[in-house]
Structure 1
Amino acid sequence: MSFPQPKPEVPQLPQNLLRTIDCQQGAVRAVRFNADGNYLLSCGSDKSLKLWSVSRGTLLKTYSGHGYEVLDADGSYDNSQLCSCSSDKTVILWDVATGQVTRKLRGHAGKVNCVQFNEEATVILSGEFSRSSVLPQQSASQSPLQPGLWLQHCPAHPQQDPPHVCVCVCVCVCVCVCVCVCDCVCVTVCVTVCVCVRACSCRSLGSIDGTVRCWDTRSRKFDPIQILDEAQDGVSSLKVSEHELLTGSVDGRVRRYDLRMGQLHVDFINSPITCVCFSADGQCTLTSSLDSTVRLLDKSTGEMLGEYTGHKMKGYKLDCCLSSKDTHVLSCSEDGHVYCWDLVEGSLMLKLPVGKAVVQSLSFHPSETRLLTAMEGRVQVWGAEPEETEEDVVVVQQEKA
């Protein structure tokens, strides 16, 4: 009697390149899966948002309406609506089928860097960058293509965090005295006195700080229903899970809002935050920062459960995420790779070579072992196993026959 051979374990890491999509929308600022993972959204520096089929890599729809580059986007749970944010300070609600602008929301004083629906798609949450968080723009032919998260520190306070903004004002007064020794000899003496005063502030230039604004998608009013202004600098990332909102800021703090209880929990990382996300089980939070470190924190206590290093994240706002089953931690890197660590052990499991430029953005499939990466003007789709081609299917059918 023979027993069937055990099935080989399915690889857990998306290490095979399935297809590359040339988005033709300048530099791709962000790439996102939709709710069920069948479609992807690409945000371009050419002011457009594009919807693609993941399985075929074909373009389904182009959404045009922003006045400047699109920085982030999200899809509703029923795939009927999209929301996007842009450097033009607006948030747009789109109808997926028609491609028309349903609502254009204004109110942010700076670039809107991140946006997301709540689970019912009744509220849009958007995070703003402050003026002190400079995002230098680069053309699509330059590398790296992602706008950098450069922090300008005050020369008098180079180690301060958050960065200082200093103004030096000098006032000069010239006093001249003419003294005559005799009728024909006069001497003029001039004295110049200068007083300089340096004023430094930890606040953003122009007193505009990062805010999170909540918009009701069902209301006819165009004003936000709530403004969260606790951040002392730009809001770089936000995530929504049920009644909780997680935000990361350039001031080095991760803020978790319990919207049901009206509570705020703050964890200090001491380095500008570039990305935040919840774990699938809702017990932990993941943060990446400009000290080239990804940290796993206990959501309730703020205790650091894991620390993941080896990648390069020094000057650009890059994404991090967890795999769909919370088994691995993934992060973009400035050296052209995606780094993947084991969640529990913290060991590096995969260093995925994407290209020679900065890996700008990534997104993990909600249920399968698939990964999206964005570099320059292209999006790559990765899987655990190579996809079967039409020739492979024919060979298998012939073998069965």
Structure 2
Amino acid sequence: MVRLVLHRDSFEPPLTYTGPVNAVTFSSYPGTYVLTGSSDRAVHLSRAIPTSSNGTVIETTSPIQRYEAHGYSVLDVAVAADNARFASVGGDRQVFLWDVEQGGTIRRWSGHNARVEAVQFAGDGDSVVVSGMFFILSFRSRDQLRQPTIGSADTTINLWDCKSNSHKPIQTLPEARDTVSSLHVHMSTYSIASGSYDGRLRVYDIRMGRTTVDVLAHPVTSVRCSADGHAVLASTLDGRIRMLDRSDGKLLQAFGGGGEKENARREGEERSSFMLGQPGSLVYRNRELRIRSVFARADAVVLSGGEAETVSGNSAAGGQAAVFAWDVLSGEVLAAVPAGQGVKAVSAVAWNEKGGCWAGGCSDGMLPFPLYLLFCSRNFSVGYSMPSISCFSRNTPEFCGILPH
């Protein structure tokens, strides 16, 4: 049984940002830091759970470091296992490999003819480097060089050799017929999962040289493998998140959706009640934007952002965007955390298993001055042997911090 305890106040971030937060990722174990990619063309490094010298939580007012080399929006970011490097991609049509300490780029690969939307590193043991789409993705076996895998808007997935001076990919996977929107590498099974706007979920088995394709009939915006690699989570623009069996493509569980009548009923409730932690008061939507979803709590929970309901093009007049948590087994909504009035969408979420905390990146809609936020909350246990996900207002002492962008 997973119980979620949430504060009754919605988030009230005090900071103003200059562009939407497109990508969010925690640093590698133990996940002390958060990196974000934004339309302000920079990657920001901040502490995930800021603490003072006496161990109490304090609010973060500035990032530790800004990494600026992109000329366009940063769409994805990924961190190496040793936390010494990370990769980023975006509208530059390039893949940037960064040195965290030095603050500069180590390599830049130019092999795509359109924006790059996904990247992640992967490899055996602690040698894995993750980045692409928002991360650079590196794949490596014990006898192979590191090969970052990048998904892009030119419909290809490219594998790059991090140790080579070549600016050309060592392999290209051209099967997608539309934008490759998301990637996830699962090293235990030596496979790469990709989602595309052509409505296909593709899984590449690197060892067997085999590709399996599941047709979802709607643009795929996010893919994520379970820890054991037996299931894949896929978000699509029909407002549903599907968990599929990798072996046969069988639908194991679906999250969101519910049909027009159900959504209409819940939307009516939403206008009259925005009580945090009451799932019925908020409705999951994903019809227009790329929304990320992830597994959490040892694959017992699914987390995802969502879009706000728009009324005559005004998101502030409709229902709020929110972060949703579902029980994997039952498919029921465990909690819904509103991002605040006027926020257009919570576009990216990330989960840190070690720290038991999550972070989300948002963009607003019709506010006079753009407000783009990232929030982070820490996990704690309530009662005997009851894990919980906890979210707090910035005005409460338990709140873990607003991260600047």
Higher strand content, 1 or 2: 1
* C-alpha RMSD of the superposition: 2.4
Q: SS where residue 323 of structure 2 aligns? A: strand
Contact 1:319 1:331 in 2 (8 A): yes
Contact 1:12 1:369 in 2 (8 A): no
Answering whether residue 275 of structure 2 is matched by residue 280 of structure 1, we say no
Q: Mark the CA change 1:33 to 1:88 in structure 2 (over 3 Å): closer, same or farther.
A: same
1:118 to 114, 122, 136: 122
Amino acid at match of 1:289: T
1:55 Cα offset (Å): 1.5
Contact 2:11 2:339 in 1 (8 A): no
Q: Which residue of 2 aligns with 1:382?
A: 377
Map 1:61-80 onto structure 2 (within 5 A).
61-80=65-84
2:176 to 225, 231, 240: 231
1:145-202 CA-to-partner distances (Å, cap 9, x unmatched) read xxxxxxxxxxxxxxxxxxxxxxxxxxxxxxxxxxxxxxxxxxxxxxxxxxxxxxxxxx
Q: Structure 1: how far apart are the matches of 2:173 and 2:333?
A: 37
Contact 1:13 1:369 in 2 (8 A): no
1:64-110 CA-to-partner distances (Å, cap 9, x unmatched) read 11111100000000001010001111110000000111011101011
Question: TM (normalized to structure 1)?
Answer: 0.71
Q: Which residue of 2 aligns with 1:246?
A: 193
2:294 to 316, 321, 339: 321
1:241 Cα offset (Å): 1.1
1:266-291 CA-to-partner distances (Å, cap 9, x unmatched) read 11101100100001222110000000
Identity, in percent, stands at 32
Q: Which residue of 1 aligns with 2:94?
A: 90
1:28 Cα offset (Å): 1.1
1:108 to 94, 109, 112: 112
Answering whether residue 57 of structure 2 is matched by residue 33 of structure 1, we say no
Q: Mark the CA change 1:234 to 1:367 in structure 2 (over 3 Å): closer, same or farther.
A: same
Q: Structure 2: how far apart are the matches of 1:392 and 1:237?
A: 36
Contact 1:237 1:275 in 2 (8 A): yes
Amino acid at match of 2:163: R
Q: Which residue of 1 aligns with 2:152?
A: 128
Answering whether residue 232 of structure 2 is matched by residue 269 of structure 1, we say no
Map 1:210-221 onto structure 2 (within 5 A).
210-221=155-166
Contact 1:19 1:381 in 2 (8 A): no
Answering whether residue 336 of structure 2 is matched by residue 344 of structure 1, we say no
5+ residue gaps, structure 1:
1-8, 131-209, 394-401
Q: Structure 1: how far apart are the matches of 2:391 and 2:285?
A: 28
Q: Structure 1: how far apart are the matches of 2:352 and 2:5?
A: 10
Answering whether residue 350 of structure 2 is matched by residue 363 of structure 1, we say yes
Q: Mark the CA change 1:234 to 1:392 in structure 2 (over 3 Å): closer, same or farther.
A: closer
1:217 Cα offset (Å): 1.0
5+ residue gaps, structure 2:
51-59, 130-145, 258-283, 309-320, 364-371, 379-388, 399-405
Q: Which residue of 1 aligns with 2:37?
A: 43
Contact 2:75 2:89 in 1 (8 A): yes
Q: Structure 1: how far apart are the matches of 2:202 and 2:16?
A: 34
The number of residues matched between the two structures is 304
1:382 Cα offset (Å): 2.2
1:260 Cα offset (Å): 1.2
Contact 2:23 2:75 in 1 (8 A): yes
Contact 1:14 1:370 in 2 (8 A): no
Q: Which residue of 1 aligns with 2:382?
A: none
Contact 2:116 2:153 in 1 (8 A): yes
Which has the larger Rg?
1
Contact 1:14 1:371 in 2 (8 A): no
1:129-148 CA-to-partner distances (Å, cap 9, x unmatched) read 14xxxxxxxxxxxxxxxxxx
Contact 2:49 2:376 in 1 (8 A): no
